[in-house]
Amino acid sequence: MDLQLSGRIAVVTGASQGIGLAVTRTLLGEGVRVLAVSRSSSAELAALGGDLLHGPADLMDPEAPARIVDRAVSEFGGLDILVNNAGGPPPGVALPRFSFMAPTDDDWRVMFEFNLFAVVRTIRAAIAPMLARGGGSIVNVSSGNARLPAPMNVDYNAAKAGLNNLTKALSEEFAPQGIRVNTVSPGPVRTAWWTKDGGAADILAAQAGTDRESVLTKVAPDLMKLTTGRLVDPQEVADVIALLASPRSASTTGADFAVDAGFLKQV
């Protein structure tokens, strides 16, 4: 299916690995010019080639979002697509946490800074150049945990719930002006968050008295009641994001799409 994306301009945050890398690769394959944003590049990102620029940025810096949008406009001539993928544990933070009592006030602040306020600032910067081109598509990467409150990672879950609310509000205001805003809510995705040394799989393995690979293949899918029996592949999330970025989804706005291996059970 032709997604009608050739020649469009995108900013993708958190683009050096995981979901963001898969989104960047997919959009490039559709002929999109992409400013790939991350604190540092990666060999995988650098190898993609095509109409790709790396935009080094730390989104914990309140000035960074405006700078990256300005660069996309100056280098490529505008902005049509924004994928707010950067999120999860803020720099230097390891998740999961297992209780409401675990995160401090400072933990809450940095969690919201990274997962909500950085998105607010990036969208604020993106609105004017999108309107100048007659509209665009914003896709915010949320989480199934935004709709499944639990004591584990309570600060992260609350930040993502705020992101879902923000998405609905933005759609109400800007869809009549041609800017569609949607969320994609992954379940557990097999990314560095899970697989790196000291990541979620290692933390859960220590709790369960097992090893990392057992957590990734058995413990986590069972714990989270994943009906597919496995963690999500990043490309599976990227494919949905690409469709939402496309004019083929022109009547889809203010919606949330679960790509979660059956994690959410609610109707």
Give the residue numbers marked as catalytic.
156
DSSP state letters, 176-208: GGTEEEEEEEE-SBSSHHHHSTTSHHHHHHHHH
State how far the Cα of 128 lies from the Cα of 160, in Å rounded to an integer.
25
Angle 86-129-141 from CA coordinates, rounded to 5° = 20
Phi/psi-derived region of residue 129, left when phi > 0, alpha when psi is between -120 and 50, beta in every other case: alpha
Phi/psi-derived region of residue 190, left when phi > 0, alpha when psi is between -120 and 50, beta in every other case: beta
Considering only the C-alpha atoms of the chain, give the largest distance between any 2 of them, rounded to a whole number of Å: 56
Candidates 49, 24, 21; CA nearest to 34 is 24
Dump strand ranges (E) for 40-198.
52-56, 81-84, 136-141, 179-186
**What is the side-by-side strand order in the sheet with 136-141?**
52-56, 33-38, 9-13, 81-84, 136-141, 179-186, 256-259
SS3 145: helix
Residue 122 burial class via C-beta count within 10 angstroms: exposed 0-12, middle 13-18, buried 19 and up: buried
